[in-house]
Amino acid sequence: MRGSMEHEASGFESSEMLAAYLASTPLLEESWRMCFKANTAAQQSFAVNRVGTVTYVAFSGVQTVDCSEESCRSLVDMETGADGIFGAFCCGRREEEEEDQRPIMIHGGILQLFLFFYRSSTFQRQMHQIMNESKSVVVAGHSLGGSMATMTALWLLSLIQSTCATLKVLCITYGSPMLGNEAFSQALRRERWDGNFCHIVAPYDVVPRMLFAPATPLMGEFLALFQFWQTSMADPSFAQFASQIHYEIKGRVFDTILSYTKERARGDEVRTTSFCPSGSYMFCTDKGVICLDNRAAIVTLLYLTFANGSADSFVMDHLNYGDYIGKVCWQYLQKKSLTDAGSSKSSSEAGIALALQASGIYSQEPMYGTAKDCLAIARHSGCKRSLNNAKMAVSLAKFTPLRAQIEWYKTYCDESDDQMGYYDAFKRRTASKRGSKVNINRLRLGQFWDDLINMLETNQLTHDFHNTPKYVNASQFYKLLVEPLEIAEYYRTLMHKKKGHYIEHGRPKRFKVFDKWWRSRKVGDEESNPRSRFASLTQDSCFWAQVEEARDSIYLIAGHMDPGKHSVLLEKVEKFEQYTRGMIERKEVSVDVLAKNSSYSLFLEEWRELKSQLQLLPPRFPASQDNMVQDIILEGDDTYL
């Protein structure tokens, strides 16, 4: 990003917009103020402050990580180590690559420290109060506190994903160490959460780079440095004693970290157990900032900016974030251009030149060419994502006629004399040109959306692509229109006999992704207005899969299954009938649901017949089960029979 931090368009894309947003709002200054407050408070604490509808949570950088065990100094499997508290983030692997998927791993000591907070009643109470009372939360932390902020933000995002909460989460860290391996970084990008994490890095701060090096050879030196840093955070006046740290300690740490960072920047093979940057990185100097979300570019800048430092500079740089933040915000408000790239350069070259000068790298230096190439690649990838967005819009328009043909088919089925409706007409179709055409359209539309999701997950589209109303609405309409056909084909081909029922064992990934998009949208008042007529499309796209499961349960109850399992299935069917009754009353179903020969009408007939049979049968249930069965029979409502 430019040193002057202007609002001009750039190929640095989402990361530049994030930097401009942070610098033009009180977020940076307020989050750092809260970090400073937390640092000077009690050890292993966090501070909370509410400003309007935004809540700031800052973790103290004065934390204790037990490094006596090897597992606490290295990466551990996140799914097993965290006892599943991060939900689908750990297990939401790309289905088509599941066999080749590397485990998501994070720093063992940092994970244990977060679990210490997570198991605290104070932490749980504060977090749930924030979720219930705030619209947005900014989670921040300095040094090890930044690691706690990252873990907390990740946990909140995972929790929001599994509920209907609408809380917006932003994490800002200052001089925080890396947290996980490349699989962790990819999972963050897969969930489209990169933009929720911004890591502020000073040019000579060793902490964001320290985990490129193995811990064991420098364990003693790191412990001494962290003891000095944490004492200085708790009491800023102690920082004056930085010069008393032995030069040999500082020199050994600086040379070792520089060497290993250089190896990673050179492109050496990244192992499963290697730490990797994740999220967006904002490199701050006293001349400006540059913000990146490209991992290769981040690693290169971590090396190139650090290479300009020295054994004396890195110790205090970990404590100087307050100065950097003050200058960044002042530069933005003043809109002062700190450099002049020259009129002979193209706008792209000028932008890169200004960005490099903002990070303290000048054209006279030997490393300038490497840094320039690095940013050019990052800029190109940003431009390419924007171009892919435009191409995808064209593709969506080309596939619209296929969707229109399926809409016409639905209208034809709903008005047909056979009174089966859309779902059952497709499920029970015979060899016909009309049915074959619709099936081909179903497959082609599915491939289009699968390709789109793949591009999104591999970072080939812009970071906020999935929030664009056009695609949120198009994907929801596609889901409501086409998923009934997917369900019909699943049961038509008897896949439920081979794999199990559709919702748990056969639902394509794309529909689960679209569920997330739809839950995350901004809901307007018009969506809460009652309907005056039945919906054009049933508002639960898995409605017919639930009908199939309910009919299967009735078949099992009527058979000679273990009587002990009857009550569970009876309760399940009863709840489904109540659920559908509510949908019909609210007119959230399409007319095909109420068709005379639809699967839903057959379900109601079978359910009524089963309840009649149960009334005639002698008691064979335990008392509690028998009472429940009688309640179901007595509460039966034939309104929709």
Q: Which residues, in sequence order, are bridge partners of residue 199?
A: 173, 281
- C-beta of residue 203 within 8 angstroms of C-beta of residue 360: yes
The single residue listed with the structure tokens 């955070």 is 233
Instruction: Give 3-state DSSP helix, strand, coil % of the chain, rounded to 5.
Output: 60, 10, 30
What is the signed CA dihedral for 327, 331, 333, 334, rounded to 10 degrees?
A: 130
Catalytic residues, by residue number, are 143, 205, 318
Contact 257, 306 (CB under 8 A): yes
**Residue-wise DSSP of 521-575:** SPPPGGGGSPPSS--SS-S-TTHHHHHHHHHHHHHHHHTT--GGGHHHHHHHHHH
**Measured between alpha carbons, how far is 337 from 10 in angstroms, rounded to an integer?**
16
If you search the block for the tokens 């219930």, which residue do you land on?
132
The structure tokens listed for 503 are 């919702």
The helix/strand/coil state of 588 is coil
Residue that has been written with the tokens 């950088």 in this structure: 61
Would you tell me the crossing angle of helices 321-334 and 27-39 to the nearest 10 degrees?
Answer: 160
Q: What distance in Å separates the CA atoms of residue 435 and residue 393, rounded to the nearest whole number?
A: 28
CA distance 439 to 435: 6
CB-CB neighbours of 598 under 10 Å: 22
Distance CA 442, CA 453 (A): 17
The SS3 call for residue 158 is helix
C-beta of residue 482 within 8 angstroms of C-beta of residue 445:
yes
